[in-house]
Amino acid sequence: MSVSNEFLEYVLDQFREWGDVSLRKMFGGAGLFREGKMFGLVADDAVYLKVDDSNREKYEAAGSAPFHPWEDQPMIMSYWELPADILEDRDALPEWAAEAFEIQLKKK
């Protein structure tokens, strides 16, 4: 798992209009944070957002897949890859990001 600095800069720029999003580098990738809550991650130059039963169908319909941190292990996480066309769409991105953020806010 790795990510280029150029891609991280691009991601932050895309989220700029949605609000104060920050990145924290970790494990070769980066976490996406807003108000101290991690709602997404960046790995291998792809963005993954928090998913649960409320929005999983949307990701499945877009052909997205869950984040697999280790290729040799079946473990998956509750982050799914954000479709590239959504990352590039400054009108659609805030909706998808807000859903992921709300999921994280619901956690205790």
Domain spans, the chain: 5-106
| 101 within 8 A of 37, measured Cβ to Cβ | yes
| 40 within 8 A of 104, measured Cβ to Cβ | no
| 66-97 per-position pLDDT tens digit | 887 666 666 567 899 999 999 999 899 999 99
Residue 70 is predicted with a pLDDT of 61
Residue 59 is predicted with a pLDDT of 95
| 24 within 8 A of 30, measured Cβ to Cβ | yes
Residue 69 tokens read as 């941190």
Nearest C-alpha neighbor of 81 from the set 68, 71, 95:
68
Measured distance CA(52)–CA(98) in Å, rounded: 13
Measured distance CA(63)–CA(67) in Å, rounded: 13
For the segment(s) 5-106, the CATH number from 3.40.50.300, 2.120.10.80, 3.60.21.10, 3.30.1460.30 is 3.30.1460.30
Residue 77 is predicted with a pLDDT of 72
5-8: long-range contacts, CB 8 A cutoff, minimum separation 24: 7/42, 7/45, 8/42
Residue 3 is predicted with a pLDDT of 81
| 15-46 per-position pLDDT tens digit | 998 989 999 998 878 999 999 999 999 998 89
pTM as predicted:
0.89
